[in-house]
């Protein structure tokens, strides 16, 4: 069964309309009817894309969710929903976490798998708070705003970086962060969340958090703390044999805590608890799902003797009793014709002159691979096209600073683009990538004044492993990558076309692998880098996403 959703057309007549097709297919342990259809109940995973480390709150009848995007820029996405299953990105807490060499891919440094990690989202006295921590900066970062969609976020930072923390406003006016791994520590903060409170409470309140899972290993982390009907509930994960969700409860925030296993099913774990306006309860969790990344699940929750109980006899349900209004992806992925209003183009020209990033230049689906060099990209130089210019010499794709990325998504997906290479210099390579440590791309190489279509793949260590090429007549070519994540097949195939209709395969199939050094699901990326001399440029006419056939 297939349905389609029309994507808005470009005003340029040369650009065709695009449809996103969502196909019902098998997902690992779920049935062939897993992917929900419009007007039907939602199914797990609620988002088949990389949205890990969720923190969810409800303000009246609206839910908000933060997630991890680590080294990407802008970062710390804030999403919005009315039903817990249809989510849209409302914005980002920051444009740049910090201007370090690692976060900006300078001087041989990189922060793949680092940047900002698991965040904590809260709403208190009319203010939204989202906090995160970063080994890249050695700090805890706290962002505040009075309006997620229409107000800027203000930042405060303090040291040290409190690992996997949970920001908590208690009823007595005190503010805490619960943090750490194995031994969970409670640290009191200043009332304005600007730093650790001198003389405030600071101590371990739970030793060996993972022991309750019945393993000799005490390791556990991912703290999220809630106060429900006067009791404190602490959610964590442990690994007795697979990722397992734990819960501890106490009458006082300082303990003592008693705990039990909350869920032990197919590695669906790490998250927290959320209620609906009509009194229903859910746990929001995620699962490591191979190369596509870590995908969110929603599990119904009931209460027994003051303890939360999850699932159907301890199993994660395939379907949920929530009517889905959208396609499950919202604006987390988006096609782009690179058309922008005239007044925005004018503002972007000014921003480029000052190397300032304009967040409104792109839809929320787009993020840069690390901090961009804003002098070297433009949507205004050639309206209707994205221009990427090289400013230095790079050896491989993972070194390239101005790679513009979006999530891949399941069960199958494809991304395509049209590249014009007339501005390239000898040694330049540009195109469309499936980005992770073991990356692959299809693109154009300029060498000795001639163009070639190339497919390049890296091995498990990120080292160039293979290349396939053929001569390109002219300076334009359509490029496409298809990804298949069904049953964790995790394969990517590469194509080229002269007309965007008749697609020809090139190179070999890439076996995609989720690696901890990158700690992120595969992303589609538009890129351009120089291997011999800088100053060349390429133009991208469109970016289209759809399900591959």
Q: Are 303 and 309 in contact (CB under 8 A)?
A: yes
Percent of the chain with pLDDT over 90: 82
* The pLDDT value given to residue 540: 98
pLDDT band at 37, cuts 50/70/90?
very low
* The pLDDT value given to residue 35: 40
Given the structure tokens 């492993």, which residue do they identify?
465
* The pLDDT value given to residue 7: 35
Distance CA 34, CA 494 (A): 27
* The pLDDT value given to residue 17: 35
* The pLDDT value given to residue 350: 76
Q: Which residues contact 465 (CB under 8 A, 6 or more apart)?
A: 457, 458, 459
DSSP 31-60: -TT-S--TTSEEESSSS-S---S-EEEEET
- Cα–Cα distances (Å) from 331 to 49, 286, 363, 390, in that order, read 12, 20, 8, 29
pLDDT band at 192, cuts 50/70/90?
very high
The DSSP element (H or E) to which 437 belongs, if any, is none
* The pLDDT value given to residue 4: 32
Fold of 342-546: Jelly Rolls (2.60.120)
Mean per-residue pLDDT, 58-85: 97
- Cα–Cα distances (Å) from 347 to 99, 217, 334, in that order, read 23, 55, 23
**Yes or no: domain 36-323 corresponds to CATH 3.40.50.1970:** no
The shares of helix, strand and coil residues in the chain, as percent rounded to the nearest 5, are: 5, 45, 50
Mean per-residue pLDDT, 29-35: 36
pLDDT band at 548, cuts 50/70/90?
low
Range of lowest pLDDT (37-46, 105-114, 142-151)? 37-46
Range of lowest pLDDT (184-188, 202-206, 455-459)? 455-459
Q: Considering only CA atoms, which of 468, 495, 350 is closest in space to residue 414?
A: 495
Task: Report CA Rg, the chain.
Answer: 24
* The pLDDT value given to residue 358: 77
Quick: pLDDT tens for 510-536. 999 999 999 999 999 999 999 999 999
Residues for the chain: how many in total? 549
* The pLDDT value given to residue 28: 37
Mean per-residue pLDDT, 179-208: 97
If you average pLDDT over every residue of the chain, what do you get? 90
Distance CA 78, CA 56 (A): 10
Q: What is the value of pTM for the model shown?
A: 0.91
Quick: pLDDT tens for 257-288. 999 999 999 999 999 999 999 999 999 999 99
Range of lowest pLDDT (13-17, 186-190, 274-278, 292-296)? 13-17
Distance CA 187, CA 203 (A): 7
Distance CA 499, CA 326 (A): 31
Q: Which residues contact 226 (CB under 8 A, 6 or more apart)?
A: 232, 233, 235, 272, 273
- Residue-range domain boundaries for the chain: 36-323, 342-546
pLDDT band at 31, cuts 50/70/90?
very low
Range of lowest pLDDT (131-145, 152-166, 341-355, 423-437)? 341-355
Distance CA 320, CA 522 (A): 27
Q: Are 385 and 15 in contact (CB under 8 A)?
A: no
Using the predicted structure, report yes or no on whether residue 463 has a pLDDT greater than 90.
Answer: no
Percent of the chain with pLDDT over 70: 91
* The pLDDT value given to residue 549: 55
Mean per-residue pLDDT, 226-239: 96
Give burial (CB, 10 Å; 0-12/13-18/19+) of 39.
exposed
Using the predicted structure, report yes or no on whether residue 8 has a pLDDT greater than 50.
Answer: no
Distance CA 70, CA 121 (A): 16
Distance CA 24, CA 10 (A): 29
């Amino acid at each position: 069964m297939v349905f389609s959703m029309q994507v808005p057309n470009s005003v340029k007549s040369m650009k065709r309309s695009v449809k996103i097709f969502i196909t019902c297919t098998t997902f690992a342990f779920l049935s062939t009817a897993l992917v929900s259809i419009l007007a039907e109940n939602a199914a797990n995973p609620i988002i088949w894309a990389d949205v890990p480390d969720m923190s969810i709150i409800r303000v009246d009848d609206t839910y908000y969710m933060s997630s991890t995007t680590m080294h990407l820029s802008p970062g710390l996405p804030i999403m919005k929903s009315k039903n817990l299953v249809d989510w849209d990105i409302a914005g980002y807490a920051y444009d740049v976490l910090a201007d370090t060499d690692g976060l900006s891919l300078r001087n041989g440094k990189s922060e793949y798998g680092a940047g900002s990690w698991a965040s904590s989202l809260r709403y208190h006295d009319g203010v939204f708070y989202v906090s995160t921590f970063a080994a890249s900066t050695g700090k805890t970062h706290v962002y505040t705003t009075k309006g997620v969609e229409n107000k800027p976020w203000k930042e405060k930072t303090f040291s040290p970086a409190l690992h996997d923390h949970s920001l908590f406003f208690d009823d007595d006016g005190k503010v805490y962060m619960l943090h750490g791994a194995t031994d969970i520590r409670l640290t009191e903060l200043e009332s304005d969340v600007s730093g650790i409170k001198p003389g405030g409470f600071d101590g371990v309140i739970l030793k060996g958090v993972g022991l309750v899972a019945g393993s000799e290993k005490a390791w556990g982390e991912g703290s999220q703390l809630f106060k429900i009907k006067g009791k404190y509930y602490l959610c964590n994960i442990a690994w007795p044999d697979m990722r397992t969700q734990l819960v501890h409860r106490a009458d006082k925030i300082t303990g003592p805590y008693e705990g039990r296993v909350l869920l032990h099913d197919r590695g669906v774990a790490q998250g927290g608890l959320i209620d609906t306006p009509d009194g229903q309860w859910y746990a929001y969790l995620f699962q490591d799902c191979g190369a596509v990344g870590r995908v969110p699940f929603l599990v119904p929750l009931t209460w027994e003797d003051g303890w939360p109980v999850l699932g159907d006899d301890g199993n994660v349900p395939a379907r949920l009793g929530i009517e889905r209004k959208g396609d499950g992806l919202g604006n987390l992925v988006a096609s782009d014709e690179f058309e922008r209003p005239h007044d925005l183009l004018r503002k972007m020209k000014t921003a480029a002159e000052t190397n300032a990033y304009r967040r409104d230049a792109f839809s929320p689906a787009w993020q840069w691979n690390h901090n961009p060099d804003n002098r070297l990209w433009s949507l205004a130089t050639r309206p209707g096209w994205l221009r990427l210019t090289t400013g230095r010499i790079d050896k491989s794709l993972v070194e390239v600073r101005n790679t513009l990325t979006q999530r891949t998504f399941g069960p199958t997906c494809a991304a395509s683009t049209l590249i014009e290479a007339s501005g390239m210099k000898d040694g330049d390579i540009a195109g469309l990538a499936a980005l992770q440590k073991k990356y692959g791309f299809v693109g154009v190489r300029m060498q000795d004044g001639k163009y070639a279509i190339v497919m390049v793949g890296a091995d498990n260590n990120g080292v160039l492993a293979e290349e396939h090429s053929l001569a390109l007549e002219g300076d334009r070519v359509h490029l496409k990558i298809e990804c298949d994540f069904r049953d964790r097949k995790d394969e990517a195939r590469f194509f080229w076309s002269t007309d965007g209709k008749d697609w020809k395969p090139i190179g070999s199939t890439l076996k995609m692998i989720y690696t901890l050094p990158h700690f992120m699901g595969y992303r589609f990326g538009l890129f351009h880098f120089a291997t011999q001399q800088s100053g060349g440029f390429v133009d991208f006419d469109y970016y289209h996403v759809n399900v591959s056939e």
